[in-house]
Structure 1
Amino acid sequence: MNPIHRRDFVIRLSTVAAALSAGAALSACGGDDAVPQFLYGVASGDPLADRVILWTHARYPDSEAAVELSWEVASDKGFADIVKSGSVTATAATGFTAKVDATGLVANTEYFYRFRQGRHVSAVGRARTLPTGSVSEVRLAVLSCANYPAGFFNVYAEVAKSDAQFALHLGDYIYEYAAGGYASANADKLGRVVQPANELLTLADYRQRHAQYRSDPDAKDLHARLPMIAVWDDHEIANDAYKDGAENHDPAKEGSFAARRAAALQAWHEWMPVRSGADQGKIYRSFDFGNLLSLHMLDTRLVGRDQQVTTEQLFNPATQASALATLASPTRQLLGAEQLQWLQGQMSASKASWQVLGQQVLMARMTVPVSILNALNPANTSPTAVADGAKAVTDYLTAKATPVALRTQAQQDLLDPAKNPELGYNLDAWDGYPVAREILLGTVAQLGKKLVVLAGDTHNAWHSSLTLMNGSKVGEEFATSSVSSPGLESYLAALPPEQVKSIFENVIDDLDWMDPKRRGFLKMSFTASAAKGEWVFVDRIDSRSYAVDTAAGKTLVYTPGLG
């Protein structure tokens, strides 16, 4: 069992104290004798050099009465030196969540914070402001895809124990599916059946699901220990969402997508420690860590994304021509024109050593020959289909390894892009928006910036080169595995994970390394000369007793100009 640090002990102790005081409730009317419940802990987020968002949820049991709170920020864990304080109200209009932007803080400083209602006190959290000036190192814990019914949030527990300074959540913080839906095979056994039982559609639905996720002790622990910078992906709303709809939304049965989206975004802003503006649909924003790095958090999901092209449309003779034309359209958007222009301006103005994009989906070119895509059909796992898939991979790799002068006509055809074109295996990612990707990477190349892209979404870990269509390298992408959502080991269950790994790493030119089967997080460490990614994996999520899978861990370093 890992030792509990003294500061962690104080946080845990304050949580216990808050729970004990809440247990002594005398009434639920909201009067002087009422005891507010702080059931979901505290959180901090969106840190800047002089401020940070502080969050909690407070409610009188069985009451709609507002809860008048005071908040305190201290330089010490005992709150002897309170440096900032104020008041905030948790009301029914915000689902009894409360957020405050604590300003006037000192850069690069760790603080302790809490909320109070009379003598009743919330758990204590730690917050940190961003550094300014000359910065030698920044450490970020990168997270994505936490599915409550799939298993325990042991990855959150491990991040809370790490030496990361800030947490980045790249989306799929919750999932919208009904009970018994996606990744729910062990939910009953683990006591993690989702609430509400229906698929999320209304504001009340999304609020209840957020509350359930935030009731998880490891989620509360993570938020109490690290400031979080977050963006949404699709499952905070609906699977494979885009600006006007989603794969998992049927207007005929589920009503207006705009109404569903508005409800989902309101709940997300209520429950996440983010700095919310007047337009809840705009979450792209930048964070400057002194002269070392500028972190640009993007929305690749809702604000500008055109509807996805599907592999089925590309393979269907009746829709193929139209799908190919759409895929190659010069006006096809993923970020949207406004967000792209903003990002170009942010990167151009930045004087930092690194430009880091925190965003949802894989940007690297993950293209696979059609001969392999046709043969590797996850829907058909019969022995014959598996053998056909293995043969397609072997034939292609053999053709690549054969000297040009010795290649047969069949091998030449396999390597001829006109006869065997390469397509992205996941068209929900940047591979489905190739012109938009080229424009963005071309901007980085023109500006001469050092680029690192961070991604989530796939539930597996990846490291790739970012290249232009002419093959020139612009930067590198580090992608995190999931907190609990199943990955390729589930979708390609008929293939041994090591074979899946071999196929991807050998077939995809820009891919350097991947892990096909483990849950974990990515710790990124930046210095002026190098960006280091450390993938940390846990050995299980079906029990709260777990260990770090040290043998599976991976560290890769990007040093521009040196490889």
Structure 2
Amino acid sequence: LWTKVTPSTNVTAPVLVNYTVSAAADLSSPLAAGATATSGDVDYTVKLDVPNLSPATAYYYRFASPDGSNATGVGQTRTLPAAGDVPAKFTIATISCMAFWHGYFSSLGNIARNEEVDAVVHLGDVIYEYSKRDYPSVDGSLPDDRDPQPNVEIVSLSDYRTRHAQTRTDPDYQEMTRVKPMIMIYDDHEFADNAWMNGAANHDPETQGPWSVRKANAARAWWEYTPTRPVTPDVSAADPSLYSIYRVFRVGALFDLIMLDTRIEGRDQQAAGDPQTRRLISEKQGGWLFNTLNSSTAKWRVLGNQVIMAPIPNTVFGSEVPILNDAWVGYPAARQRVLEFVANNNISNTCCVTGDLHASVASDLFLDAKQYDPATGKGAVMPEFVGPSVTSASPVRDSESLGRLARDPFVEPNPGAKFVNLWRHGYMLVTVAQDKVRTEYRFVESVKRQNGGREDSGAVLEVVSGSNRITRQS
């Protein structure tokens, strides 16, 4: 559970925050109640990890000042099913890429109101590091209150905290996080564009200082401002790592949600060195991933991943271009190892959900294009569903006409592509059931309107159990 205190300007000491947790919406008969402290050391954010809760149960909570004069609304969350339990279905909404000044977060309000959504999975880019000038929105500006704060490229801990705090002021974001459990990973823009382990395309050490300092500032602020339980990467480690976010959530015996870090923990620089030895994840994370996949006894496995695995154009006149090689295509040996492991170990019923691209792409993933049949899906290893951005400008600057023109060259290296939309904004609804996984692309009419206008279904794709491919599209 998460909240933030805004103390009076003259407060420098730690602040006490009362909390109440109950299985009743009116907070009667509380299961947990007490006080916790926060301070400027964590920018007055509050995290509460409540033990001894029952599985598959809705809980309600509220934070308040000790005298009761200030209080949050009543929040709601829900625990995962118990190990061995098989729910009839479980729906996650996947979101990514939320440039505050590019649009309103109306998609998040729609998710909040959708009672079918059991949890929200954020695949990264909850903030952007740019100034408004360096990353302008499409079709003019929103009101001044959507301008990034501070309106410079952020580098310091204070900068990152301020940008996260501003993002938290959006009413639709507040409502979604009030009523839905969140599972989050970061991507590059929580740090800097096209970040990797030891640097970023959008970082200049001569003017912005050491990358290690900026990276730590960014990671610390992300942990402070997300309802994410610290991950201890090694049982012998005394403290959790700022850069350990890969972990697994077991949704009973229905599916394992396996969250990866393809951004910071072990990534080599884009388009540098030998592509066949270029790492996207560390050996340690790779071993953890393979062990998690191989030992899974759930009906399904869902990989939560930052960057697209499907092949995309990545060269210009035969030469690698760093910005086009930020995805798995720029790390071909790493991509091959994952797909070969799934195929060679007969790990059926595995899917991937992805963010980062600011576009919608649903594909069959395959080992060898020559052995893959687009008509029948023979040769597919698993499907991938890449979701649209919530607000961040699309690759075609939100232009439908450009999107239609760009579609064919974009999918030329990807015969597994089943659905592509390069211009619209929204999110995905992924429903996992025993017999199938159903993914629906939900698009808003306009991110320039506070209510988003009409929301519609862009496509529905299904994966039947045992098929390892997209079996139906409507």
**TM-score normalised by the chain length of structure 1:** 0.75
Shift of 1:504: 3.5
1:342 is matched with 288
* Count of residue correspondences: 444
CA distance in 2, matches of 1:180, 1:126: 38
**Partner AA of 1:88 in structure 2:** T
Please, which of 168, 183, 197 is the counterpart of residue 136 of structure 2? 183
Task: Describe the SS at the equivalent of 2:167.
Answer: helix
Shift of 1:180: 2.1
- The answer on 1:207 being equivalent to 2:154 is no
1:266 is matched with 220
2:49 is matched with 101
Cα 1:139–1:346 change in 2 (3 A) is: same
- The answer on 1:61 being equivalent to 2:8 is yes
CA distance in 2, matches of 1:91, 1:112: 25
For each residue in 1:245-269, what CA deviation from the matched residue of structure 2 results, as whole angstroms up to 9, or x when unmatched? 0000000111000000001000000
Of the structure 1 ranges 156-165 and 200-209, higher mean CA displacement relative to structure 2 is found in 156-165
Q: Which has the higher helix share?
A: 1
For each residue in 1:464-499, what CA deviation from the matched residue of structure 2 results, as whole angstroms up to 9, or x when unmatched? 0111135432100011100000112218x6953223
Cα 1:188–1:487 change in 2 (3 A) is: closer
**Partner AA of 2:213 in structure 1:** A
1:535 is matched with 441
2:385 is matched with 478
CA distance in 2, matches of 1:515, 1:231: 24
CA distance in 1, matches of 2:98, 2:264: 20
CA distance in 2, matches of 1:152, 1:421: 38
Cα 1:424–1:69 change in 2 (3 A) is: closer
1:364 is matched with 310
Shift of 1:548: 3.1
Please, which of 311, 314, 334 is the counterpart of residue 436 of structure 1? 334
1:558 is matched with 463
Task: Describe the SS at the equivalent of 1:524.
Answer: strand
1:497 is matched with 403
**Cα pair 1:143 1:167 within 8 Å, conserved:** yes
Shift of 1:67: 1.3
**Cα pair 2:390 2:426 within 8 Å, conserved:** yes
**Partner AA of 2:122 in structure 1:** H
1:257 is matched with 211
For each residue in 1:429-479, what CA deviation from the matched residue of structure 2 results, as whole angstroms up to 9, or x when unmatched? 000001101111111113322210010101111100111135432100011
CA distance in 1, matches of 2:408, 2:180: 36
CA distance in 1, matches of 2:34, 2:100: 34
1:4-153 matches, cutoff 5 A: 54-62=1-9, 63-118=11-66, 119-120=68-69, 121-132=71-82, 133-153=85-105
- The answer on 1:464 being equivalent to 2:363 is yes
CA distance in 2, matches of 1:204, 1:98: 17
1:168 is matched with 121
The gaps in structure 2 that reach 5 residues or longer are 232-239, 373-378
Shift of 1:545: 3.1
- The answer on 1:487 being equivalent to 2:394 is yes
CA distance in 2, matches of 1:152, 1:426: 28
Shift of 1:501: 2.8
Shift of 1:187: 3.6
Shift of 1:122: 1.7
**Partner AA of 2:381 in structure 1:** V
CA distance in 2, matches of 1:490, 1:179: 15
CA distance in 2, matches of 1:432, 1:547: 38
Shift of 1:224: 0.3
**Partner AA of 1:201 in structure 2:** V
Identity percentage of aligned residues: 33
CA distance in 2, matches of 1:508, 1:55: 41
**Cα pair 2:194 2:323 within 8 Å, conserved:** no
For each residue in 1:285-312, what CA deviation from the matched residue of structure 2 results, as whole angstroms up to 9, or x when unmatched? 1000011100111100000000001xxx
2:376 is matched with none
Of the structure 1 ranges 185-194 and 253-262, higher mean CA displacement relative to structure 2 is found in 185-194
**Cα pair 1:366 1:424 within 8 Å, conserved:** no
Moved over 6 A (4+): 420-425
Task: Describe the SS at the equivalent of 1:106.
Answer: coil
Shift of 1:134: 2.0
**Cα pair 1:308 1:432 within 8 Å, conserved:** yes
Task: Describe the SS at the equivalent of 1:546.
Answer: coil
Shift of 1:116: 2.0
Shift of 1:198: 1.7
Of the structure 1 ranges 112-121 and 347-356, higher mean CA displacement relative to structure 2 is found in 112-121
CA distance in 1, matches of 2:198, 2:322: 23
Task: Describe the SS at the equivalent of 1:263.
Answer: helix
Cα 1:201–1:529 change in 2 (3 A) is: same
- The answer on 1:233 being equivalent to 2:187 is yes
1:526 is matched with 432
Say which one has the larger Rg.
1
**Cα pair 2:102 2:142 within 8 Å, conserved:** no
CA distance in 2, matches of 1:304, 1:229: 21
Shift of 1:80: 1.2
**Partner AA of 2:72 in structure 1:** S
Task: Describe the SS at the equivalent of 1:306.
Answer: coil
- The answer on 1:285 being equivalent to 2:256 is no
Quote the RMSD (CA, aligned, Å).
2.1
2:256 is matched with 294
CA distance in 2, matches of 1:506, 1:200: 37
CA distance in 2, matches of 1:240, 1:435: 20
- The answer on 1:508 being equivalent to 2:385 is no
